[in-house]
Structure 1
């Protein structure tokens, strides 16, 4: 359960008197920053396990994973990121070593290594941990075929880990395909978190993913459900972005977050410095949006459980 308290939001006109688009934008960011400073979150209850997935590439899936994880850690949550994408981008963004000789999720899935033996603490925040991916994970799809209970390898490893390592939130970053790695993520999680780019093909990719979720529900994990949709790379200046947002909200009114993630140079730059945008530039528009998304996720969870 997440308990959220938020101070009264400051007026957007407190700092900037000039009525220009730039002044209004700066005033809005200033107001939102102050509002976030007044937020406190108490994390209690069972661990929440999210799998961040979208079969369409380039929608901000890994970016969303690391930034929401970092934002939740900064709010006081004990967070574990599981990097299940062979590209290892989440590991890179959190400054987690993931060279070929490092123990990784591959060893957990294929060799039965304990998850606790591969998890590393991110230098970004003491509450933020990551089970890294390495290049070996690229071959895991083929090797998993011969494994006993191949769809449940991650779930069993995670259940064992959580018995001795108190964790508030687990976020699993998936590859952009429905193979055995993604199926392992779906069976280990209870909630699906889908980032959607506000562009023309967004709903087409979403419908394919919903079919995959339904299949997993029927055959492997009846507890799995779509809980969260986040609009990413949003350009409010275009009519198309707003149309896509409206259509997604009409189809999924209870799952789509009110927060949208704008297109942001800072968000794109941060991974090259081995950081989330929260650590790289916490006052930027992208960082503020991801922090607001994290608070909203916490608030919505609380609302569902009360």
Structure 2
């Protein structure tokens, strides 16, 4: 039985900040001495590049080589954050996996053989393309967080994610996956549009919305450019991710 809480970060829309949210949420966990494993499940490999981690084996090998295990792929970022990195080879993964048997549960099948007792949380960063690798992420996970920005297409992206999850449930690939919450990320402060959008989101999504909002700041970009979590770069701007973490664990409880 799994001991870790496995959480997928997802949205069909690119540029909403899934990667920075994953990194900085892991940073908040690490500051409280929680052990975190991040899966870089996006062929763009942004997590791997930002945290500057590599390994002999990576998530591409995990998907394609029956002999490669989770343990083979884990690289260390610091004392509390570990990563299963990715690289450009994964750009062709969708094509390679298409004809594989039980293709949506490759990660889950390998994860079931992995002793995850060393990790409190496993966070999975994903591509905006709702293909086979994202489906693997959902099948493996206990929870998912939907991340939206302040664009007018935010709600449309959520509807597409819901369709994929419904299909996985209908095919008996998932049964107990829970929505932890919907995170408003990269929002602008003090604009009329944002105020109006927030009113619409709060009316439409109600309790599914996290109370925490991550407002846009150049500080997050500076931290990633320096291969750091926001906690290690700027204490002030780390507070929203600390708040998100506490809100998250209360929802899990």
Q: Which moved more, 1:194-203 or 1:59-68?
A: 194-203
Larger radius of gyration: 1
Q: Residue 133 of structure 2: SS of its match in structure 1?
A: helix
1:262 aligned residue? 215
Does residue 130 of structure 1 match 2:63?
A: no
Give 5+ residue unaligned stretches, structure 2: none
Does residue 92 of structure 1 match 2:33?
A: no
CA contact (8 A) 1:259 1:293 kept: yes
Task: Give, in whole Å, the separation in 1 of the partners of 2:5 and 2:81.
Answer: 15
**1:191 pairs with 130, 139, 143, which one?**
143
**2:29 pairs with 54, 72, 76, which one?**
72
2:70 aligned residue? 115
Q: How many residues align?
A: 250
* Structure with more contact order per residue of length (Cα contacts < 8 Å, sep ≥ 6): 2
The Cα RMSD (Å) is: 1.6
Q: Residue 252 of structure 1: SS of its match in structure 2?
A: helix
Q: Residue 253 of structure 1: SS of its match in structure 2?
A: helix
2:239 aligned residue? 288
Q: Residue 207 of structure 2: SS of its match in structure 1?
A: coil
Task: Give, in whole Å, the separation in 2 of the partners of 1:201 and 1:265.
Answer: 23
TM-score (norm 1): 0.78
Deviations 1:7-63 (A, max 9, x none): xxxxxxxxxxxxxxxxxxxxxxxxxxxxxxxxxxxxxx9421111010001101111
Q: Which runs of 4+ in 1 moved over 6 A?
A: none
Give 5+ residue unaligned stretches, structure 1: 1-44
Give 1:164 deviation, angstroms. Answer: 5.2
Mapping of residues 136-147 of structure 1, within 5 Å: 136-147=89-100
1:52 aligned residue? 9
TM-score (norm 2): 0.93
